């Protein structure tokens, strides 16, 4: 690595860390004030909640900080006439952008691992806090709430009732339908007595469900051959409510990226709308990609190295305006994707793709990237 490359990356990283700290302080202050206005928790709970929210803040902060780092590092080099000297020494714009793109890619990879693994973990901890779990009861709560997550390795979601085990592949919260469900009932001596399986079950009311295309196995606790009955429709009562299954669906947000992908595959198999989860899955990649794109976006200032054309005030105004517009548009696109109004790929990669197209036209127009 040349001395000039080290100088460029040093300035870039300095501004990146500074912008991360500033934006982190702004978001943290907003989080604390919002919690205080709710008047629903003590200071310890507020700061624990803030600590768990930090990885989510990073998803918003890192892409914008990449833009700020590129913009202000180039502006600083301009003001000290170092940018002109760098190009006069034979250092090309291509090498300059390649260096920025490399560190932008590195930041994107870091953000990917934060989004793919750390954020799901902190979201699970936040769910425990929202449900009023204490440190003493957190262990049991974790086991209960993650049983479905661990069971996804077998292709089904499992949980235990008072006198039965229950498994199903997926739950459609729009139609309140359970797919590929199986109940394993046992007696007071924990002997396996009955098994009920069905293609799907529709919620009726209260604890009543209607099974479709079901098989009922009885007399399993005896040594004789079990009895089997087939029903096109069969009523069933279970203690779990629709809200319980919706909560299990909410726990899907605590899956790491590859288990989430497996769950999306289950939804595809059962013909259930998986847009919400697919957007969440793709967002982990698009956020990382955006770090690279925004790092390079500010490099268009390289084609005008005269310091008289740069202004600190204009750069600050641009960054503030761009940050709020970017956060708003990107969040809006994600919402459209989660509600199936636009394809998931467009919802997640639409905004960074616009920047890529703009950069491509800009570089082709100037033809100075050499």
Domain boundary among 239, 256, 284: 239
Q: Are residues 84 and 167 in the same domain?
A: no
pLDDT reported for residue 145: 41
CB distance 161 to 239 below 8 Å: yes
Q: Are residues 8 and 94 in the same domain?
A: yes
Tell me the three state secondary structure of residue 157: strand
Confirm whether 315 is domain-assigned.
Answer: yes
User: Could you list the pLDDT tens digit for every one of the 370 residues in the chain?
Assistant: 678 888 888 889 999 999 999 999 998 888 888 877 776 567 777 788 888 889 889 998 999 999 889 888 888 888 887 877 888 888 888 888 888 999 999 999 999 999 988 888 888 777 666 655 544 444 444 344 443 444 455 567 777 777 888 888 888 878 888 888 899 988 888 888 899 999 999 998 888 899 999 999 988 888 788 889 999 999 988 887 788 787 777 677 677 888 888 878 877 877 777 888 899 899 999 999 999 998 888 877 777 655 555 565 676 777 778 778 888 888 899 889 888 889 999 999 998 898 888 888 877 776 644 4
Confirm whether 127 is domain-assigned.
Answer: yes
CA 341 to chain centre: 19
Q: Are residues 34 and 114 in the same domain?
A: yes
Domain boundary among 195, 218, 239: 239
Domain boundary among 239, 260, 283: 239
Confirm whether 89 is domain-assigned.
Answer: yes
Residue 117: Cβ within 10 Å count = 14
Residue with tokens 């976006």: 297
Confirm whether 259 is domain-assigned.
Answer: no
Chain segment 191-201, per-residue pLDDT in tens: 888 999 999 99
Q: Are residues 9 and 127 in the same domain?
A: yes
pLDDT reported for residue 130: 65
Looking at the DSSP bridge assignments, the partners of residue 160 are 165
Q: Are residues 95 and 175 in the same domain?
A: no
Q: Are residues 28 and 127 in the same domain?
A: yes
Q: Are residues 41 and 190 in the same domain?
A: no
Q: Are residues 18 and 120 in the same domain?
A: yes
CA separation, residue 360 to residues 94, 102, 297, 351 (Å): 14, 18, 10, 15
Confirm whether 20 is domain-assigned.
Answer: yes
CA 112 to chain centre: 10
Confirm whether 337 is domain-assigned.
Answer: yes
* Domains contained in the chain, number: 2
The length of the chain in residues reads 370
Confirm whether 146 is domain-assigned.
Answer: no
Confirm whether 152 is domain-assigned.
Answer: no
**By residue range, what is the domain housing residue 283?**
3-133+273-366
- Joined tokens for residue 50: 């803030």
pLDDT reported for residue 286: 93
Q: Are residues 128 and 277 in the same domain?
A: yes
pLDDT reported for residue 148: 42
Q: Are residues 127 and 166 in the same domain?
A: no
CA dihedral 22, 26, 32, 36 (to 10 degrees): 150
Residue 200 CA to residue 281 CA, distance in Å, equals 26
Q: Are residues 225 and 335 in the same domain?
A: no
Q: Are residues 224 and 318 in the same domain?
A: no
Residue 13 CA to residue 99 CA, distance in Å, equals 12
């Amino acid at each position: 690595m040349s001395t000039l490359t080290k100088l460029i990356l040093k300035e870039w990283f300095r501004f990146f860390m500074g912008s991360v700290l500033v934006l982190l302080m702004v978001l943290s202050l907003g989080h604390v004030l919002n919690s205080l206005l709710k008047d629903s928790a003590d200071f310890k709970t507020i700061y624990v909640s803030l600590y768990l929210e930090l990885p989510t803040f990073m998803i918003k902060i890192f892409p914008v900080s990449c833009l700020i780092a590129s913009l202000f590092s180039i502006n600083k080099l301009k003001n000290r006439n170092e940018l002109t000297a760098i190009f006069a020494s034979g250092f090309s714009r291509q090498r300059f952008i390649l260096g920025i793109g490399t560190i932008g890619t590195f930041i994107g990879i870091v953000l990917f691992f934060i989004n793919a693994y750390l954020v799901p973990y902190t979201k699970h901890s936040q769910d425990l806090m929202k449900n009023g779990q204490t440190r003493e009861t957190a262990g049991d709560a974790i086991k209960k709430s993650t049983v479905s997550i661990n069971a996804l390795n077998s292709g089904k979601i499992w949980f235990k009732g008072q006198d039965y085990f229950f498994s199903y592949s997926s739950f459609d919260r729009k139609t309140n339908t359970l797919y590929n469900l199986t109940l394993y009932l046992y007696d007071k001596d924990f002997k396996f007595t009955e098994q009920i399986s069905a293609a799907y079950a529709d919620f009726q009311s209260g604890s009543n469900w209607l099974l479709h295309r079901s098989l009922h196995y009885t007399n399993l606790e005896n040594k004789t051959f079990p009895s089997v009955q087939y029903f096109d429709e069969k009523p069933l009562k279970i203690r779990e409510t629709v809200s319980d299954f919706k909560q299990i669906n909410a726990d899907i947000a605590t899956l790491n990226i590859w288990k989430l992908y497996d769950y999306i595959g289950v939804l595809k198999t059962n013909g259930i709308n998986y847009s919400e989860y697919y957007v969440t899955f793709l967002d982990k990649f698009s956020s990382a990609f955006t770090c690279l794109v925004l790092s390079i976006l500010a490099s268009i200032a390289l084609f005008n190295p005269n310091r008289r054309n740069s202004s600190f005030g204009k750069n600050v105004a641009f960054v503030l305006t761009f940050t709020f517009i970017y956060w708003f548009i990107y969040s809006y696109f994600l919402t459209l994707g989660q509600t199936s109004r636009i394809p998931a790929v467009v919802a997640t990669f639409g905004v960074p793709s616009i920047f890529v197209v703009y950069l491509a036209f800009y570089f082709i127009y100037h033809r100075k990237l050499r």
